[in-house]
Amino acid sequence: MSVYTEPLQALIDELNRLPGIGPKSAQRIAFHLLKIPKEDAARLAESIVVAKDRVHWCRVCFNVCDSDTCQFCADDGRDGRVVCVVEEARDIVAIERSGAFKGRYHVLQGAISPIEGIGPEQLRVRELVKRLEDDAITELILATNPNVEGDATASYLARLIKPIGVRVTRLASGLPQGGDLEFADEVTLGHALEGRREL
């Protein structure tokens, strides 16, 4: 039963479809939108339409961009021989912030997750293999998330790509900087021990 007037219920339903927005949040946001000035609500609606219209996937690496290729693929100053494979375009922001990588990227647009019905076919894996065949790539850094899905995706890609003769590496897993040994979980600590380095 809907007690709300139809346009409001329609708005709540649409908001409820967004990731991380449950029925209560959807209701709260809908009422917020009703209360704010009309121009502000219109600006949100407009930004959705404009973003859908103008934001595309980079033809090469599937990062987000507003032209044919993204800023990283278009930048001749970056090393095209090393490609960092990430799950989502937002992961690029994190890596760029570290300032420790000057190569190019490849965005899978997800991770392998049998529970959610996402296999390699749903990801940009075919396009990655194509890039390896066409371009002079010597190293692939697998920077998928250090969780079950990310690790599974990395294992899958390593098995698939190593035979092509490209060096495949994975981001180091260990203790986060500024962390405290006492509070480290056992898996992280195990990885930190396994991956210990000579000083």
Nearer to its own copies, 4 or 135 (CB): 4
* Candidates 35-43, 134-142, 158-166, 185-193; binding stretch for its own copies (CB under 8 A): 35-43
**Dist. CA 144–CA 160, nearest whole Å:** 15
Instruction: State the pairing for strand pair 56-57/79-86.
Output: unpaired
Alpha helices in the chain (DSSP H): 6-16, 23-35, 38-54, 71-74, 89-98, 125-134, 148-161, 186-194
Out of 55, 74, 189, 193, name the contact with its own copies by CB under 8 A: 55
Residue 108 CA from chain centroid, whole number: 7
- Does 166 interact with its own copies (rule: CB under 8 A)? no
Out of 109, 122, 145, 155, name the contact with its own copies by CB under 8 A: 109
Count of CB atoms situated within 10 Å of the CB of 142: 22
Which amino acid does the sequence have at 114? P
Nearer to its own copies, 42 or 164 (CB): 42
Tracing tokens 């121009």 back to the chain, one arrives at: 39
Strand partners, 25: none
- Does 50 interact with its own copies (rule: CB under 8 A)? yes
Name the minimum Å distance from CB 17 to its own copies: 8
Nearer to its own copies, 116 or 135 (CB): 116
Nearer to its own copies, 25 or 188 (CB): 25
Out of 31, 75, 187, 195, name the contact with its own copies by CB under 8 A: 31
Nearer to its own copies, 91 or 170 (CB): 91
Which amino acid does the sequence have at 170? R
**Dist. CA 132–CA 68, nearest whole Å:** 20
Site for its own copies in 88-107 (CB under 8 A): 88-90, 92-93, 96
**Dist. CA 142–CA 194, nearest whole Å:** 18
Site for its own copies (CB under 8 A): how many residues?
53
Residues that bind its own copies (CB under 8 A): 3-8, 10-11, 13-15, 17-21, 25, 27-35, 38, 40-55, 64-66, 88-90, 92-93, 96, 109
